[in-house]
Chain A
């Protein structure tokens, strides 16, 4: 057992993952609980985005659509469907399925092109979803969103912020290991990396570039949907800000700050940005100025992100 642990920890990537797990396990005791929760949820969201920029190798400006779909599907089902509150957890996977379906549609259209076209097509598709959700006021609440979404319970025990955090912690762990399995330790991951390096050559070896990318895009959508569903339950609210394009910017900044070519890079970026925002906004309301400058500095001076400097962590 001990030797197995030692063997596991000789690998720097595994070490970094263990550090993240330990951090998340103890963070409610060392930092404010609401911030710990934000780091967990947005860390997962940033990691799901990391799949697109790190493994597909494209920048997407539509990731909020996947997060928002997860949040809206789960949130609205909880709001409208009358079901015993302990059974209401089944709406959680429904949000994930919704996000995957949207991801398949968006990916099918946007993956036909690369680079700037890919980024802007995703942005425009996000905007399409945004306006549709905004207009179906009767169902979604339009601009106001929906407040007072009933939280699921565990039998007769109500959900406390602590128990919800540790439930999410477990879900996060499952997602983390699924992601690692699918994007670090599998033959599929190698195919994706081959595609990232040379699409034409991968195609000539018989891999369907489009299909492999679409698969990765849909999986990224699934994890973004998990984050969205988590957020809707935790906030007991769904609103247009979940689908707003500025959320994309934030997520991309998180991922690039930590480093998109490192497995836990996006998570670290999310944690840093959330903490930074919290600290700066204690002193000034103009935190966006500082974050904006930070973005420019990261892109010009720190292209691989903070963790990208460590070669042993990169994939």
Chain B
């Protein structure tokens, strides 16, 4: 018989994983919704974020919190520059073409990481404040996962508040609805576009830094999770920010509870779920007909 503590800890760990999915998928869906670009290079920048955190910790000797902040800002800046130089050339094309372009970009960036840092596996220690676990019945739930859940929620709602409450957020939302009309109203959308890509990539960067203490740092660390995130945005409805949160949490919980029955099927279950959603509701849970295709 399952004890309630097992169920609670499965639930929490599912939520924590789901929150990471939501963060990464949220960035992807924002970029796709506004720019019409499917950013395959997200996975490369997950690794870039983790390597920045590693450098900040090892070479600069700063603490974990500084590492998180610098990986967020650093990857965000890279995103801003990339949008201005390369990504902006892809606008107006079939989104699938951008998928291949960013696939090439990812190949190049990952190979650059290999050239600079080698293929070695680096470890980042969990900061001392977050070591250990919260007692829960006869077992303990890792504190770091609870931290992950909290900081994920803070970041996600931070971006949401930015989109809802600030003037730049208003421009981004207006451009999401109708780019041409926003321009016609005399509002410059160029910076808003660059900001969007930058925010999406920054989420990937800090996501990588947050994942690092659990999975280590290596050039291909973001690959598997990115594919899951693609499934998440298809389930949530492409272009829907809130959809990526709901779908991310559902997928996290699903894989967590399937682990109980069959650990091997945890990953596959997400894709089976996606196939089911596509069969009954091809536009995804929160997708809007005709908005993006």
A292 touches B105 (CB 8 A): yes
* Chain B residues whose CB sits within 8 angstroms of the CB of A293 once the complex forms: 104, 108
B107 touches A125 (CB 8 A): no
B101 touches A300 (CB 8 A): yes
Flag B109-152 by CB within 8 Å of A: 1 or 0 each: 11110110000000000000000000000000000000000000
Interface residues of chain A: helix, strand, loop or mixed (majority): helix
CA–CA, A293 and B114, complex, Å: 16
Residue of A nearest to B107 (CB): A292
Is B8 an interface residue, CB under 8 A from the partner? Answer: no
Choose the segment among A205-213, A263-271, A283-291 that binds chain B (4+ C-beta atoms closer than 8 Å).
Answer: A283-291
B267 touches A296 (CB 8 A): no
Given A59-B96, A120-B230, A127-B231, answer yes or no on A115-B268 (Cβ-Cβ < 8 Å).
no
What range describes how many residues of B lie at the interface?
Answer: 35 or more
Contact of B230 among A114, A124, A256, A289 (CB under 8 A): A124
Given A123-B230, A291-B107, A296-B101, answer yes or no on A117-B238 (Cβ-Cβ < 8 Å).
yes
* Chain A residues whose CB sits within 8 angstroms of the CB of B238 once the complex forms: 116-117, 120
Residue of B nearest to A255 (CB): B100
A124, A245, A253, A299: residue with the most chain B Cβ atoms closer than 10 Å = A124
A288 touches B111 (CB 8 A): yes
Given A59-B94, A128-B268, answer yes or no on A295-B100 (Cβ-Cβ < 8 Å).
yes
Is A6 an interface residue, CB under 8 A from the partner? Answer: no
A127 touches B282 (CB 8 A): no
A112 touches B104 (CB 8 A): no
B96 touches A116 (CB 8 A): yes
* Chain B residues whose CB sits within 8 angstroms of the CB of A201 once the complex forms: none
Contact of B271 among A127, A296, A300 (CB under 8 A): A127
A124 to chain B, nearest CB (A): 5
Contact of B96 among A119, A127, A135, A253 (CB under 8 A): A119
* Chain B residues whose CB sits within 8 angstroms of the CB of A289 once the complex forms: 107-108, 111-112, 115
Q: Which of B22-80 contact A (CB under 8 A)?
A: 32, 38
B222 to chain A, nearest CB (A): 13
CA–CA, A58 and B293, complex, Å: 12
Flag A101-121 by CB within 8 Å of B: 1 or 0 each: 000000001101111111111
Contact of B234 among A117, A253, A295, A299 (CB under 8 A): A117
Residue of B nearest to A291 (CB): B107
B108 touches A59 (CB 8 A): no
Residue of B nearest to A284 (CB): B115
Flag B228-268 by CB within 8 Å of A: 1 or 0 each: 00110110001000000000000000000000000011011
CA–CA, A227 and B227, complex, Å: 25
Given A127-B231, A286-B114, answer yes or no on A113-B104 (Cβ-Cβ < 8 Å).
no
B231 touches A131 (CB 8 A): no
Residue of B nearest to A109 (CB): B278
B275 touches A128 (CB 8 A): yes
Contact of A124 among B86, B99, B231 (CB under 8 A): B231
A295 touches B103 (CB 8 A): yes
Is B97 an interface residue, CB under 8 A from the partner? Answer: yes
CA–CA, A135 and B274, complex, Å: 19
* Chain B residues whose CB sits within 8 angstroms of the CB of A59 once the complex forms: 94, 96-97, 99-100
Is B279 an interface residue, CB under 8 A from the partner? Answer: yes
CA–CA, A220 and B38, complex, Å: 24
B293 touches A114 (CB 8 A): yes
CA–CA, A286 and B112, complex, Å: 8
CA–CA, A58 and B99, complex, Å: 12
CA–CA, A132 and B283, complex, Å: 25
A115 touches B293 (CB 8 A): yes
A58 touches B111 (CB 8 A): no
Residue of A nearest to B94 (CB): A115
CA–CA, A306 and B115, complex, Å: 30
Is A252 an interface residue, CB under 8 A from the partner? Answer: yes
* Chain B residues whose CB sits within 8 angstroms of the CB of A119 once the complex forms: 38, 95-96, 99
Residue of A nearest to B99 (CB): A119
B100 to chain A, nearest CB (A): 5
Is B292 an interface residue, CB under 8 A from the partner? Answer: yes
Contact of A252 among B100, B272, B275, B282 (CB under 8 A): B100
A109, A115, A245: residue with the most chain B Cβ atoms closer than 10 Å = A115
B275 touches A58 (CB 8 A): no
* Chain A residues whose CB sits within 8 angstroms of the CB of B100 once the complex forms: 59, 249, 252-253, 256, 295, 299
Is A294 an interface residue, CB under 8 A from the partner? Answer: yes
CA–CA, A123 and B114, complex, Å: 26
Is B165 an interface residue, CB under 8 A from the partner? Answer: no
Is A183 an interface residue, CB under 8 A from the partner? Answer: no
* Chain A residues whose CB sits within 8 angstroms of the CB of B264 once the complex forms: 134-135
Is B106 an interface residue, CB under 8 A from the partner? Answer: yes
A289 to chain B, nearest CB (A): 4
Is A72 an interface residue, CB under 8 A from the partner? Answer: no
Report which B residues bind A (CB closer than 8 A): 32, 38, 86, 89-90, 94-97, 99-101, 103-112, 114-115, 227, 230-231, 233-234, 238, 264-265, 267-268, 271-272, 274-275, 278-279, 282-283, 292-293
List 5 tightest A-B contacts by C-beta distance, closest first: A295-B104, A292-B108, A59-B96, A292-B107, A128-B271
Q: A124-B274, A286-B114, A300-B101 are in contact. List 8 more A-B contacts (CB 8 A).
A: A59-B94, A61-B96, A113-B283, A116-B238, A119-B95, A123-B227, A291-B104, A295-B107
25 A-B residue pairings within 8 Å (CB atoms): A61-B96, A116-B32, A116-B38, A116-B292, A117-B282, A119-B38, A120-B231, A120-B234, A121-B234, A125-B275, A127-B267, A131-B268, A245-B227, A286-B114, A288-B111, A289-B112, A289-B115, A292-B105, A292-B111, A294-B104, A295-B100, A295-B104, A295-B105, A296-B86, A299-B97
